[in-house]
Amino acid sequence: MQENNSSIDIASINEKIERESAFVDILSSEMKKVIVGQKHMVERLLIGLLGQGHILLEGVPGLAKTLAINTLSQAVHGSFSRIQFTPDLLPADVIGTLIYNMKLNDFSIKKGPIFANFVLADEINRAPAKVQSALLEAMQEKQVTIGEETFVLDRPFLVMATQNPVEQEGTYPLPEAQVDRFMLKTVIEYPEMADEQMIIRANLKGSFEKVNPVVSLEQIARAQQAVREVYMDEKIEKYILDIVFATRFPEKYGLESLKPLINFGASPRGSINLATAAKCYAFIKRRGYVVPEDVRAIVHDVLRHRIGITYEAEAENVTSEDIINKIVNEIEVP
């Protein structure tokens, strides 16, 4: 009887998700007007937005990272701000500050660029630790304190931070504990040759199509609620936990060879984000339930910045990606 009940339940959840996720295709096709290729990045941006998380994008300059989040904000009818991180930036330049008003003989509050739905933190590794922590605190708490007043940030609130892996000079790498605040770390690859040909043509013509607001902030808020309702079976939960626990205790999963390569494994935040991202991925695929493929599709983005590798791993040229691959290939799929 129970089984029948749950199948009716899943059918109704499926119906609801199909209804609520109808905008995903419209939003994707609107972004495709400007963003050529880079399907992976656009998908990850949507997962971050629906999962109420934040994204760290890593890639060489010129891969449309800024353009992608700007296009998303135009298509969603949200406010957009960009902060170009530099070594002389102060926390007040990000969150805002108190300004003395001589006429009123009082202080007034000037809000910083963090007060927007979509915030692009460009080259986050160029800013000193104080600025990074001010941004990360706002991301975590979804609120900002200026003087004695606390302001709740606009919803939806998505921070996309970019980091340039090429330059090391004049950069302040994000500490591991702070990188953990990002739901996803996505590595952007170069575009395919056919896509790049289209990019060249569009740029030379100077004729980019106008992006229209096709989704309202209310629709996004509803979708964020609907994502929570996506059904996740206990077997999938166990699968997620096995993957995360294998990063901490590889020897318990027959992966003794990984023990000397892992400095520390993923935190509980990793488990939560992997489950949330898998639900978001199912939602984007317009499904009301999570399948193991959803977990496998998103596992690299969720865990690659949460596994610390040892000097031994570095000496052997083993990356956290390689470790995730070994774990995912070893853990039994439900």
Domain map of the chain by residue range?
A: 20-218, 230-330
Task: Return the pLDDT at 238.
Answer: 93
Element (H, E) at 309: strand 308-309
Contact assessment for residue 117 and residue 70, using Cβ atoms and an 8 Å cutoff: no
Residue 209's nearest CA partner among 27, 23, 35, 78 is: 35
Residue 142's nearest CA partner among 131, 156, 130 is: 156
Task: Return the pLDDT at 276.
Answer: 94
Q: Which residues of the chain have a pLDDT value below 50? A: 1-6
Enter the pTM of the model: 0.86
CATH code of the domain made up of 230-330: 1.10.8.80
Helix 292-303 × helix 268-284 angle, to 10° = 130
Task: Return the pLDDT at 240.
Answer: 94
Task: Return the pLDDT at 4.
Answer: 43
Task: Return the pLDDT at 301.
Answer: 93
Strand partners, 308: 264
Task: Return the pLDDT at 169.
Answer: 54
Residue 302's nearest CA partner among 127, 54, 42, 18 is: 54
CATH fold of 20-218: Rossmann fold (3.40.50)
Task: Round to whole Å and give the CA distance between 216 and 228.
Answer: 19
Task: Round to whole Å and give the CA distance between 244 and 154.
Answer: 32
Find all residues with CB under 8 Å of 260, minimum gap 6, and list them: 310, 312, 313
Task: Round to whole Å and give the CA distance between 156 and 249.
Answer: 36
Task: Return the pLDDT at 164.
Answer: 74
Task: Return the pLDDT at 2.
Answer: 38
Residue 154 CB-half CA count within 13 A: 19
Based on C-alpha coordinates, what's the Rg of the chain? 21
Residue 328's nearest CA partner among 253, 277, 230 is: 253
Task: Round to whole Å and give the CA distance between 11 and 108.
Answer: 54
Task: Round to whole Å and give the CA distance between 143 and 115.
Answer: 9
Task: Return the pLDDT at 27.
Answer: 86
Task: Round to whole Å and give the CA distance between 258 and 331.
Answer: 14
Task: Return the pLDDT at 167.
Answer: 58
C-alpha distances (whole Å) from 239 to each of 184, 185, 228, 247, 266 are 19, 21, 19, 13, 15
Task: Return the pLDDT at 1.
Answer: 32
Element (H, E) at 217: helix 217-229
